[in-house]
Structure 1
Amino acid sequence: CKLIQDGVVAILGPKSPSSSSLVQSTCHAKEIPHLQINWEYRFLPDTFTVNVYPHAPILGRAYLDLLLTKKWKTFTVIYEENEGLVRLQDLLKAPSYQDVKVVLHQLTPGQSYKKLLKDIGKQGETNIVLNVPIGKVPLVLREAQDVGMMTAYHNYIITSLDLHTITLDEFQHGTTNISGFRLVDPSRRSVKMMVNDRIFDKLRYGHQPESGRLLKTDTALIYDAVTLFSRALHDLDLSHAINIQNLSCENREYWSQGNSIISYMKVLSVEGLTGNIQLGENGVRTNFSLDLIELKHDGFKKAASWNPEDGIVFTRNYTATYNQEIKQSLRNQTLRVTTII
């Protein structure tokens, strides 16, 4: 209320679900564009709210396509928060598509990953879907290694879109398959320019830049949300002047130009750091593409791309590289082959 009293043209965020719904309600009443940049499991379509984060049901379909491509017959989901299951609801529907067995394990606060992983290993499970905060992924994999759950027979899908931003050097030369999706492609020219600008700004003010040259998903989405909004503001300002209006939560007065801006944002198509930004009539982002990345000897490499229309499409050299890696892994190995006469 204090912000809109001073005069604003849009509200970005917040990330907290409880606060976000309150802001959404206020923006609706005052007809001020509300921009969201995070996954919202309780997202309710609203006339004045748009969300540049990939729509949860569409994102869930990407993970389902990955599982069907890998032809897993059984898999175990490790999660911490109940909301995480909503993110994976399409994945949990896998048994209705194929004869697949799904087991869920929730990690309670304070519980050891090692004990849970050991129990999963005793059940003979080798396929793990890891839905935990990205910062905990190295710890989980380290403890999995301690209990013998990081062999050539084990596979891990990490659900965080920030998988490419963490360092897993200690597992690069292993044989375990670790994969996941990313929304931000570090090789995209706009992403490279953004990262270089941030490093330059840090150095210019005498600060040490963060380790690594990778952009986190939420940072890129903030930039993209502002880019989309500024494009709409610029285009509309060419036809008629945009005037900032001081409003009050104490009366029914609203911003007369907010509806035009939010409606125009929903028909715009803008190229951002996370690719093409295009929203539907309900303000959600359903048309987006992801990169499937896998951990190799020299770090994460793109194996395929995914979009709602084509599903998973592997890169041209993926098969050749995969076959070469199999040959490499078999070199100097003794294989025992048995049969029954």
Structure 2
Amino acid sequence: MSYTPHQDYRAVDGNGQGTFPTTSPIKMKGVILNRFSDMLNPTPGFDPYMGGQWQQFIQFVDEGDFGGTALYMGQNIGKNVGNHPAGSYTDAEWLAELDRLNHDPITGRAFRSGDLVEVRARAPGLFFRGKTNINEQHQKTTLADFDVVLLQPNYMLPAPQTITLADVKDSVDEFIFDQSRATGAEHYQGSFVRFEDVQFTAGTWGPNQSMTITDGAGRTLPVLLGFGSGFAEYPSPTGSFDIVGVFDQEDKISTDGWKGGYRLWVMDYDGDQFVLYRYVKPDFDRDGDVDETDLDHFEACASAPGIEQTDPSCLNADFDGDSDVDQSDFGVLQRCFSGSDGLPDPTCDR
């Protein structure tokens, strides 16, 4: 089976309705963009209606393709077909599904942003509010499962594509819709993008909240804030700033077709800039885990309490900012240590 290009899977008609036939199994390839728990909360029962939810975006890698695709799972899928709770996942079943989706079935390695993966979808998904996304078509059966398989670990997290609000909004602040997807908002669906020199104009700052950005020329765009810890730890930036995230769509108004509802989904903020994936401090080599390689670097940099560490290459090991690299800093590394196949708790260095 050949790979389905993202641009084909996300094709739409003149009303924004998806046109890709979701009737036969497909196979897709892409690089993982986001940490699943930064986008939706997977905790069993978290959402009053859908329970735990899981979502990751993968972005194109093959020349000639463009855009990206959402992979989605919901715990209480039986509610959407009138078969709840029998057709939904129990808490134990849901946790087992999360474990399956978050680990390569061959090596057991936990997936992370920047991994190149293959998605094998037995039920090739559904169209929902403006986008076709891979899911189980609300069926709790292995016959509808999709599998994520590792092709290359730490392949490369793509650089964000810098665009302007004028690329997706017109002069009267309406979304630019192009059925061909060569231009306008549709072109950037599922992509990692950057908007420069924008400001917040409205909204609530915090995890799982929403804001609005403006370019100062009358154009605006909704921003969804994910579950990244930085939204609780730091105040929102003021004045002009650059912002990065996944460009997405969920159009809740269907009377004019599916030509609106685009937004930027932002994963985290480190107090200085917005980030797609915040690496914990002891992940020195930025490969998503804290393992023996990171421990070796720390040990090479260790000084002692009150003994200043002046080597420029070791300043990143002074986690508490007291100028030495001592047991206090080692305690942070211990809390974050995951091994090469695991992922650290994203709050372990807080």
TM over 0.5: no
The TM-score, its normalising length taken from structure 2, stands at: 0.25
| Structure with more helix by fraction | 1
| Structure with more strand by fraction | 2
Quick check: which has more Rg, 1 or 2? 1
- Give the number of the structure with larger relative contact order, counting CA–CA contacts within 8 Å between residues 6 or more apart: 1
